[in-house]
Amino acid sequence: MTMSLIDWSARISAMADALSVPDGGFSVKPDDGSDVRTGYAVAVHPEHERVFDGLVTSNDLHEYIGQAKDALSLPGRVLGGWRDPATGRVYLDVSVVTTDLSEAMTLARETAQLAIFDFSAMESIPVTVAA
């Protein structure tokens, strides 16, 4: 199912709102705008990571999606956003979602991520250094 332009506009506005609270965020499938609900989200395209020191607007999200559209069109990729509760910074990225915590941590270390997101617990998990 694809979304209309009006639906996407409302969806993007809701995503911007989700980034206005500490540890707020989203992981959205770019093909239909649905939320990811299970697994662990990991940003895997550092070249597409964008960091904002303040609030992110709908216009910021529209611009980001346009810039990252090639990566977002790859199989299994999702649009991710997260507000770091410690710093208030907002991170936008292209992520993958895996059901394996160990795999998620490995991917996160390989791409120098600060955290992954656990959909079961609905919270960020800081990336640990491999033992």
Domain segments of the chain: what residues?
5-126
Q: Which amino acid does the sequence have at 47?
A: E
Contacts of 131 (CB under 8 A, 6+ apart): none
pTM comes to: 0.82
pLDDT in tens, 75-90: 889 999 989 888 999 9
Q: Do 61 and 8 touch, CB atoms closer than 8 A?
A: no
pLDDT in tens, 15-64: 999 999 988 889 999 888 889 999 999 999 999 999 999 889 999 999 99
122 CB neighbour count, 10 Å cutoff: 9
| 59 φ/ψ angles, rounded to the nearest 5 degrees | -65, -40
Question: What SS3 state is found at 109?
Answer: helix
